[in-house]
Amino acid sequence: MALIALTVLSWSRHLDDAANTATLENFKRALAVAAIARGFNGVISVAQGTEVAVQPVGIGVTLTIGEILDPLNDLVERFSALALVASVSLGLQLTLGQMVTSPWLSGLLSIAVLAYLVVLWRPAGAASGSSKLIGRVLQVLGVVVFLRFLLAAMLLLTHAVDQAFLAAKQDEAVASLSSASNSIEQLQQQSTDTRLGAEGEGFFDRTGAQLRDFLDSSRQTLDLKQQLAEVEAQVENSVEEIINLIVIFLLQTLLLPVASLWLCAWVLRNFWRSVSSSA
């Protein structure tokens, strides 16, 4: 009954559809993270040369954010490449999943099951070495079942671990990176607007504006310093979140699939040994 159930499951593709849906979800999330990482890298590259300046009555206070972003720049570049590799790996898993669900493999499984049942139900005295023949057919059947359901089992196991332990951390890390990117863009835009406004005015207008802004210079400087402090804190947090995302992608695309493959291979090897010893 178990073999017949496996054959029906192979042709029905319910397990394969579930594995494909789970992998497609991870694939889309990986693409989204890769896009965010590339955008974040672009924001950092542009913002590194930005100077945030307050210059009332010729007395200037210039604050740069390049030094704050230096530790993050190389890390984001490397992570962007890793996110792209993770997306390619998940796309490859989707392609392999479509190959494994081919009717040819299901047909091979059906033939192997039929052969095993024919050998099993033969008359007891039909041929010598019947138990050894049954063992050989059963070993072949185990390999076919292994090949047919290995990838689906691996993908579903990886997705289950991801949903239970990794998905929430990944969403939190992505939200943190998006927030840091927005803060850097706002600070850069504020600096750009300040410089453009100062360059477009005439001498007397510019002098009057400087006099009017003199009393507010201290407050502006404190505000900018506070924004820079907030950006620095977000940068430090972003470094931690990027490391978390690197760990998540390594687990999703390398460690968990390899561990699942090793587990399935271990089960198959022990199955072969038990069949060989009982034959």
What does the pLDDT look like over 111-130, one tens digit per residue?
A: 988 888 888 776 655 554 56
- Window from 86-90, 189-193, 199-203 with minimum mean pLDDT: 199-203
Looking at the chain, which runs of residues are DSSP E strands?
A: 51-54, 61-64
Instruction: Of 74, 29, 98, 102, give the one whose Cα is nearest residue 253.
Output: 29
Residue 119 tokens, joined: 């050998």
Q: Which residues pair with 51 in a beta bridge?
A: 64
Helices 14-47 and 130-161, axial angle in degrees (round to 10): 40
Residues belonging to the chain? 279
Structural domains in the chain (count): 1
The answer to whether residues 119 and 263 touch, using CB atoms and an 8 Å cutoff, is no
pTM of model > 0.85: no
Full residue range of the structural domain in which residue 90 is found: 2-278
Which distant-in-sequence residues (6+ apart) come within 8 Å of 85 by Cβ? 253
The answer to whether residues 45 and 77 touch, using CB atoms and an 8 Å cutoff, is no
The answer to whether residues 154 and 260 touch, using CB atoms and an 8 Å cutoff, is yes
Cα–Cα distance measured from residue 118 to residue 112, given in angstroms and rounded to the nearest whole number:
10
Determine the residue type at 276. Answer: S
Confidence of residue 203 (pLDDT cuts 50, 70, 90): very low
| pLDDT tens track for 140-149 | 888 888 888 8
Output the pLDDT for position 224. 62
Output the pLDDT for position 213. 56
Confidence of residue 16 (pLDDT cuts 50, 70, 90): confident
Confidence of residue 198 (pLDDT cuts 50, 70, 90): very low
* pLDDT beyond 60 at 53: no
Output the pLDDT for position 222. 57
* pLDDT beyond 50 at 70: yes
Cα–Cα distance measured from residue 76 to residue 81, given in angstroms and rounded to the nearest whole number:
9
Instruction: Of 84, 76, 85, give the one whose Cα is nearest residue 46.
Output: 76
Helix locations, 162-216, DSSP H: 167-199, 203-213
| pLDDT tens track for 208-238 | 455 455 445 555 555 666 767 777 787 788 8
77-86's contacts with Cβ under 8 Å and 24+ in sequence apart are 77/41, 79/37, 79/242, 79/245, 79/246, 80/34, 80/37, 80/38, 80/41, 82/246, 82/249, 83/30, 83/33, 83/34, 83/37, 83/245, 83/249, 84/34, 85/253, 86/30, 86/34, 86/249, 86/252, 86/253
* pLDDT beyond 60 at 206: no
Output the pLDDT for position 57. 42
Question: What is the SS3 assignment for 14?
Answer: helix
Output the pLDDT for position 83. 86
| Residue 277 burial (10 A CB sphere; 0-12, 13-18, 19+) | exposed
Confidence of residue 200 (pLDDT cuts 50, 70, 90): very low
